[in-house]
Amino acid sequence: MNLRHWSATQILTVGFAGMILIGGLLLSLPIASRNGIGVPFLSALFTSTSASCVTGLVVYDTWTQFSFMGQLVILLLIQIGGLGFMAVAILFSLAVGRRIGLRERSLLMDSVSALQLGGVVRLVRRTLIGTALIEGIGAVLLAFRFIPRFGFWRGGWFAIFHSVSAFCNAGFDLMGISKPFSSLTEYFDDPIVVLTISALIVIGGIGFVVWNDLVESKFRLKKFNLHTRAVLSGTLALILGGMLLFLFLEENGVMAGMNLKQRILAALFQSVTPRTAGFNTVDIASLSDGSKFITMLLMFIGAAPGGTGGGVKITTVVVVAAAVGAFIKNQEDISIGRFRLERDTLFRAFCGMASYLALTVCGVLVLCAQGSTLTSASFECLSAIGTVGLTTGITPTLPPLSHLMLIILMYAGRIGSLTVFLAVSEASSRRKLKDPVGKIIVG
């Protein structure tokens, strides 16, 4: 098959799968594990998928199972997966002075969800520089907590690992050094850790296109484009709304016994992390049913397009909400503010949400068929396809078929569930003739 005939969607889809496979092979090597015995390939593939797709679901505690070599492989997969492997490939091309052609620019535009082809290389260059700067600042701030506790070298490694993992919305942690699968529960009331990790999650999740617009507009609100306004306003609303709901729902739950400062920090973090980071400062399994439902809703929505997070995307929800509002008001045009949306945008939003839900339902059915409860299966599948990584604790104990289903969901969630379907459908020929119009009653 000639790669020249492949579409950008197909190349990105296959390329990501190849990176996951290579990561799985490396993590299955004996040198990647502390005990010198390689983990089963399916488990290594699961870990590689979770890291490449910046999810955070794990079958092994990262610290207790993997050696420094294994942790380094995981961190590289997280960084490449978060930025997009095409962006990393362009970094090397720029480093050696290679000219970026039109085809590479087209691939980049799809990889980072840019709005237009022009200026996409400049966007990626800014993204790479901004990523290094933000992750560096995050690592320095976290080092103030980790170095005094773990020593200079280990504390420095912990700071770098958690900064990259948070910015890329991956959710992998090394806190198994104290207690396996504990995530950041020891730091639930530490403002430096909670606020730094939260800021990294949000900055990585709003998307590189938003970054670029903020720089181009010099942070002047009136000059923000519609996409930036929708992402920032939606993100702020979800964070504040989620925090208030968690404060209310867990007042006598996992937050019972906490003082006001601790409750605010815990509620803030629990509102931020489902979109779509995977860290936790409270025990997820101990959350009330109401809080689990809110968490699943936030995982479903996710972050913004072109960022390091997953989910159905906040802009998709904004577009669908605008369409529903226009229908209720009996308006012909669908508008947000003073801007009218194109029909293609609406079509992609509804198709993306439908394909996302279809894959999630398939995953829930598979997990339920293998013994999981409906609540646990729904939580796990939404966490996987949303590339979140939060879990009620059942991931390590799931049967192989359930692990395979979660691998598929994580993969589809990272590159986009609609992208998967498009990559397959693009191989088929297009019909030139249109079918006659038919009518069907809806609602």
340 located within any domain: yes
End-to-end Cα spacing for the chain = 46
> What is the DSSP secondary-structure string of 329-394?
TT-SS-EETTEEPPHHHHHHHHHHHHHHHHHHHHHHHHHHHTT--HHHHHHHHHHHHTT----SS-
Q: Who contacts 405 (Cβ-Cβ below 8 Å, separation ≥6)?
A: 362, 363, 366, 367, 381
d(CA 134, CA 138): 6
Q: Are 85 and 19 in contact (CB under 8 A)?
A: yes
CA 134 to mean position of chain CA atoms: 18
Number of other CB atoms surrounding residue 154 within 10 Å: 15
293 located within any domain: yes
347 located within any domain: yes
d(CA 27, CA 44): 5
Number of other CB atoms surrounding residue 435 within 10 Å: 6
- What pLDDT does 91 receive? 57
Q: How many CA atoms lie within 13 Å of 215's alpha carbon, on the beta-carbon side?
A: 13
336 has which bridge partners? 339
Q: Are 105 and 58 in contact (CB under 8 A)?
A: no
Cα–Cα nearest to 206, from 170, 223, 230, 224: 230
Q: Are 76 and 87 in contact (CB under 8 A)?
A: no
Per the structure, the count of domains in the chain is 1
- Tokens in use for 259? 């003082």
Return averaged pLDDT per consecutive 10 residues of the chain, 443 residues in all: 59 81 95 93 95 91 96 94 66 56 57 56 78 95 96 96 94 93 93 96 87 86 88 93 95 91 95 89 92 94 81 89 89 83 85 90 96 94 91 92 94 68 47 65 65
Q: What is the CA radius of gyration of the chain?
A: 21
251: containing domain: 8-422
Longest dimension (CA), the chain: 72
33 has which bridge partners? 66
Cis peptide before 276 (omega within 30 of 0): yes
Q: What backbone phi and psi angles, to 5 degrees, belong to 405?
A: -65, -40
Predicted structure pTM score: 0.88
Sign of CA dihedral 125, 308, 304, 140: negative
440 located within any domain: no
434 located within any domain: no
Q: Are 168 and 81 in contact (CB under 8 A)?
A: yes
- What pLDDT does 85 receive? 54
Q: What backbone phi and psi angles, to 5 degrees, belong to 40?
A: -55, 145
Q: Are 268 and 171 in contact (CB under 8 A)?
A: no
- What pLDDT does 139 receive? 97
Cα–Cα nearest to 279, from 188, 346, 212: 188
Name the DSSP class of 33.
B
53 located within any domain: yes
3 located within any domain: no
Q: Report the b/e string of 34-50 with b at 16+ CB within 10 A.
A: eeeebbeeebbbbbbbb
**Kindly report the CA angle at 192 between 145 and 271, in degrees rounded to 5?**
130
Q: Are 171 and 163 in contact (CB under 8 A)?
A: no
d(CA 229, CA 348): 20
Compute CA distances 5 → 2, 15, 54, 420, 428, whole Å. 6, 15, 29, 18, 13
- What pLDDT does 89 receive? 56
Cα–Cα nearest to 171, from 22, 45, 47: 47
